[in-house]
Structure 1
Amino acid sequence: MTTLPDLPHSIDAEKATLGSILLNRDAIIAIAPWLQADYFYLQRHVQIYEAMLACYNARIPPDTRTVAEELRRRNQLEAVGGVLYLAELVDSVPTSYHVEYYARIVERTALLRRLIAAGSKIAALGYEEQQDIETTLDLAEQILFEVSQRRTNQDFIHIGQVIDAYYEQINYLQDHRGEVVGLPTGFRDLDQLTGGLQRSDLIILAARPGVGKTSLVMSIAHNVAMQYQGTVGIFSLEMSREQLVQRLLSMETSIDTHRLRLGQLREEEMERVISAMGRLAAAPIYIEDTAGLSIMDVRSRARRLQARVGVDLIIIDYLQLMQGRRSENRVQEVSEISRGLKALARELNVPVIALSQLSRAVEGRTSHIPMLSDLRESGSIEQDADIVMFIYREELYDPNTDKKGIAEIHIAKHRNGPVGVVSMRFDPSTTRFMDLTYRTPEGY
């Protein structure tokens, strides 16, 4: 009979980590943000470290006396070996100087144990023959991704830890009052209303065909990458990567997209195009233009991109072109897709912008301004979204309007903020959105 090797662990590193904290009450500051209690192999070390974290979160220095008192309060002091074992931990390390080095060993061995556990879970999935293969592959990849992202499977977190994190957030907001707290879109009025694009938010951008959904989202992608050096992942299910690059070049050079497509450029314009190509080539923009992707395909590829380069923004163009699992009707499929996109935003902790079509009901009303009920094929899109934005251009319905070249962005739903309307300039020739007061630096 084959004997399985012990799971990876280092008792010496665990004792040295805990001893360093008891030796120097400030040692925990360097490791508390990332060293989790369940990284420890021995249960009594888990309990001791949890007591240390409780002291730390209560702003009580975690020394031998305070940690012993916390363990006594939890009825765990005797189980961990009493005060004598805490003293033994202190004696196990000569100095606290290397606490982070010891803690990294504890972390590494814990992740190796998780990898072994993940392998067992994935192997078990392989025996579930009745389960849809796409679901099985997605679950397997998610198990591995959680290990690589060093995530815990804890069900609950004490409210005190949440309060501490929120206190730091409030202090940050106080110090940066008036600034955009999320990922800036590059549009002043839109950022002022939304506070920027917030992590884990699903933002739905909807309009009728030809109004400018792709143009606006590509303007946002351009601004995020070029102005703020944010990494953008674009899933383009409708347009090819070449067409997207053409739009980005038009935005960057202010040259008509039609003339770019035909190559009808003056010498001076060609120089601008070459210069813009160099800038765009260095931009952190990644494009996936495979048609007909499923929500599982999108989640899988987004995870890989996140693991490879880190992502600040995910864009889906557009939601109704994604494939759901076969179900009784399309409404159920779209509901599954919208829930999956919200789950993706939370999983990667980045904003996800998904474009969406509107129903034809908009065209049949006296007022053509979109409403939440116009979202096509599913009410769950509205339910899952944190923000729903509509684009409305009056000139498309009234040729005599005095609002030519003006697009209104209607924030119809904002889960954590106000709703309202933002007006922008829109240049159809370059498919570019701009602030109303915008002027290009070159004067083009």
Structure 2
Amino acid sequence: MNDAARKLAPLPKDQADQHYREAPNNLEAEQALLGAILVNNDAFYRVSDFLKPVHLHEPLHRKIFEVASEIIRMGKTANPVTVKTFLKADDKVGDLTVAQYLARLAAEAVSIINAEDYGRAIYDLALRRSLITIGEDMVNIAYDAPLDMPPQSQIEDAERRLFELAETGRYDGGFQSFNDAVALAIDMAGQAFERDGHLSGISTGIHSLDGKMGGLQRSDLIILAGRPGMGKTSLATNIAYNIAAAYEPEVQPDGSFKAKNGGVVGFYSLEMSSEQLATRIISEQTEVSSSKIRRGDISEADFEKLVACSQMMQKVPLYIDQTGGISIAQLAARARRLKRQRGLDVLVVDYVQLMSGSKKSGENRVQEITEITTGLKALGKELNVPIIALSQLSRAVESREDKRPQLSDLRESGSIEQDADVVLFVFREEYYVKNMEPRDEFDPKYEEWKMKMEQVKGTADVIIAKQRHGPTGTVKLAFQSEFTRFTDLADPSFTQYEH
């Protein structure tokens, strides 16, 4: 037999049967659940938090579930009579009309007690069907090997789709009904009411900042910018540690954990090593100068403080990734993995200009930064976490008389200002005043300088230059440089902070 004939020869019967496999489904479970809902609408509330119409396999069942859901949510009764008016009367199910089919579902309904079990079975089968689709796509793309999709980007795409499926039970994105959006908004308000400080977002641990921002809002991209020496990294580590230290988990109905207060923090430190970052945090917590810790210039009492602090810090859910020059795709893949394995509530990136884009080297840096900020914004939405991204400012600040940063100082970095939901500038006037100290202390200007220095010493301004859902303005904080620590001022009207 030649090759062509061999290819066209019929398969043995058992082999032919193996080639057609029906997608996993259970129509009986769908019928039983719909029957239970039509007989007793309370059954719907047993499954409404996890089961959506898209999870049902049979198109008619999807439509029945969708119509019944809307009727019940409007406070009306869903039964065969009220549901049938919203379905096509001339549709047939075998020999039955739709109205007869609905009546049959209700007549053969099982107990409401089993509704949740049937719902879970339907949901699990829907996940399996989605897994099969993702798997088939992976195989087909790997065989076709399109030029614009190297293996690495296919892995990242598959990881993203699997992550969405694991998180939400669906991976197609798509539209969400306004009803669902309203329900989410009400849930957020309820959670804010129950949370410490009544914040809609995650508390930064700095009350005056929370007062202006309402905490860090989920899916927001928060740009924290400043010139070198202003304390960007210090403020970011302060906030990251405050959130992680305040972490208080709450068990959800499905057995998973969710942060009631605080949260799990992922910190991408592209500039400093994890040891340097840890030294800063230990210094801030123990009030032992970080330069002394590095030199080992500490007393016995200080060392005991450090040991006690390190033991306490071991329990804190703060995870550090110190890979330099990481790309947005790698960062996203690692963040998804962290969320799956440990949970994730806040992401910090220190800092944007040290990341690499996937653009070809011929293209300019502005486009690369644009790709990075757009990617960070999309990642925040996908993971539903706030992302604090640190950014350098242009040198234009230094040539101005007034050194306070403005949004225009971000301009050279393309879409940073556009993509950000919140833009914060860290500004320490003390840094500039200190550098203007007259060399001669008998200089008449020396007293003037001294008075100015007393005013600004130990303070810092966090300028909220942009905020999509809140006011702009300036928050005055205390800054202890030797411990790299930002805190609330004891009295905001009193600007000097005694060390």
Instruction: Give the gaps of 5 or more residues in structure 1.
Output: 439-443
Cα distance in 1 between the residues matched to 2:100 and 2:149: 55
Q: 2:81 aligns with which of 65, 72, 75?
A: 65
Count of aligned residue pairs for this structure pair? 436
Q: 1:70 to 1:154 in 2, by over 3 A?
A: farther
Cα distance in 2 between the residues matched to 1:46 and 1:77: 17
Query: 1:191-248 deviations in whole A, cap 9, x for unaligned?
Result: 0100000010000000011211110000001110112441000111111111111111
Q: How far is 1:436 from its partner?
A: 0.6
Cα distance in 2 between the residues matched to 1:77 and 1:59: 28
- Contact 1:235/1:317 (8 A) holds in 2: yes
> What corresponds to 2:147 in structure 1?
130
> What corresponds to 1:366 in structure 2?
401
Instruction: Report which stretch shifted further, 153-162 or 185-194.
Output: 153-162
> What corresponds to 2:126 in structure 1?
110
For 1:37, the aligned partner's letter is: P
Cα distance in 2 between the residues matched to 1:185 and 1:173: 14
1:78 equivalenced with 2:91 (yes/no): yes
Q: How far is 1:369 from its partner?
A: 0.4
Q: 1:31 aligns with which of 40, 47, 57?
A: 47
- Contact 1:330/1:377 (8 A) holds in 2: no
Instruction: Give the gaps of 5 or more residues in structure 2.
Output: 1-10, 249-262, 435-448, 492-498
Query: 1:373-398 deviations in whole A, cap 9, x for unaligned?
Result: 11164230100000000000001111
Q: How far is 1:135 from its partner?
A: 3.0
1:268 equivalenced with 2:285 (yes/no): no
Q: Secondary structure at the match of 1:130?
A: coil
Q: 2:490 aligns with which of 431, 437, 441?
A: 437
Cα distance in 1 between the residues matched to 2:433 and 2:71: 66
- Contact 2:192/2:199 (8 A) holds in 1: no
1:428 equivalenced with 2:476 (yes/no): no
Q: How far is 1:166 from its partner?
A: 3.4
Q: Secondary structure at the match of 2:85?
A: helix
1:306 equivalenced with 2:339 (yes/no): yes
Q: How far is 1:169 from its partner?
A: 4.5
Q: How far is 1:19 from its partner?
A: 1.5
1:245 equivalenced with 2:278 (yes/no): yes
1:279 equivalenced with 2:312 (yes/no): yes
Cα distance in 2 between the residues matched to 1:326 and 1:218: 30
Q: How far is 1:170 from its partner?
A: 5.0
Query: 1:86-129 deviations in whole A, cap 9, x for unaligned?
Result: 22222333311121111000000000000000011122332234
Instruction: Report which stretch shifted further, 96-105 or 62-71.
Output: 62-71
For 2:480, the aligned partner's letter is: D
Q: Secondary structure at the match of 1:397?
A: helix
Query: 1:268-297 deviations in whole A, cap 9, x for unaligned?
Result: 111111111111111011111111100000
Q: How far is 1:414 from its partner?
A: 0.2
> What corresponds to 1:211 in structure 2?
230
Q: 2:413 aligns with which of 364, 378, 382?
A: 378
Q: Secondary structure at the match of 2:218?
A: coil
Cα distance in 1 between the residues matched to 2:292 and 2:23: 64
Q: 2:172 aligns with which of 149, 153, 158?
A: 153
- Contact 2:35/2:110 (8 A) holds in 1: no
For 2:103, the aligned partner's letter is: A
- Contact 2:225/2:393 (8 A) holds in 1: yes
Cα distance in 2 between the residues matched to 1:269 and 1:164: 51
Q: How far is 1:158 from its partner?
A: 2.9
Cα RMSD for the two superposed structures? 2.0
> What corresponds to 2:472 in structure 1?
419
Q: Secondary structure at the match of 1:70?
A: coil
1:335 equivalenced with 2:370 (yes/no): yes
For 2:312, the aligned partner's letter is: R
Q: How far is 1:310 from its partner?
A: 1.3
Cα distance in 2 between the residues matched to 1:238 and 1:90: 64
Instruction: Report which stretch shifted further, 158-167 or 332-341.
Output: 158-167
- Contact 2:36/2:106 (8 A) holds in 1: yes
Q: 1:390 to 1:77 in 2, by over 3 A?
A: farther
Q: 1:199 aligns with which of 201, 209, 218?
A: 218
Q: How far is 1:77 from its partner?
A: 7.3
Instruction: Report which stretch shifted further, 8-17 or 371-380.
Output: 371-380
Query: 1:118-166 deviations in whole A, cap 9, x for unaligned?
Result: 0111223322341242433322221222222223525323333333443
Instruction: Report which stretch shifted further, 221-230 or 278-287.
Output: 221-230
Q: Secondary structure at the match of 1:196?
A: coil
Q: How far is 1:16 from its partner?
A: 1.7
> What corresponds to 2:245 in structure 1?
226
Return the index of the structure with the highest Cα Rg: 2
Q: How far is 1:254 from its partner?
A: 1.2
TM-score (structure 2 length as normaliser) = 0.83
Q: 2:324 aligns with which of 291, 301, 309?
A: 291
Q: 1:224 to 1:378 in 2, by over 3 A?
A: same
1:185 equivalenced with 2:201 (yes/no): no
For 1:10, the aligned partner's letter is: N
1:163 equivalenced with 2:182 (yes/no): yes
Q: Secondary structure at the match of 2:61?
A: helix
Q: 1:92 aligns with which of 91, 97, 108?
A: 108
- Contact 2:397/2:405 (8 A) holds in 1: yes
For 2:114, the aligned partner's letter is: H
For 2:488, the aligned partner's letter is: D
Q: Secondary structure at the match of 2:371?
A: helix
Cα distance in 1 between the residues matched to 2:275 and 2:304: 20
For 2:166, the aligned partner's letter is: S
Cα distance in 1 between the residues matched to 2:47 and 2:187: 17
Q: How far is 1:264 from its partner?
A: 2.0
Cα distance in 2 between the residues matched to 1:179 and 1:187: 14
- Contact 1:356/1:376 (8 A) holds in 2: no
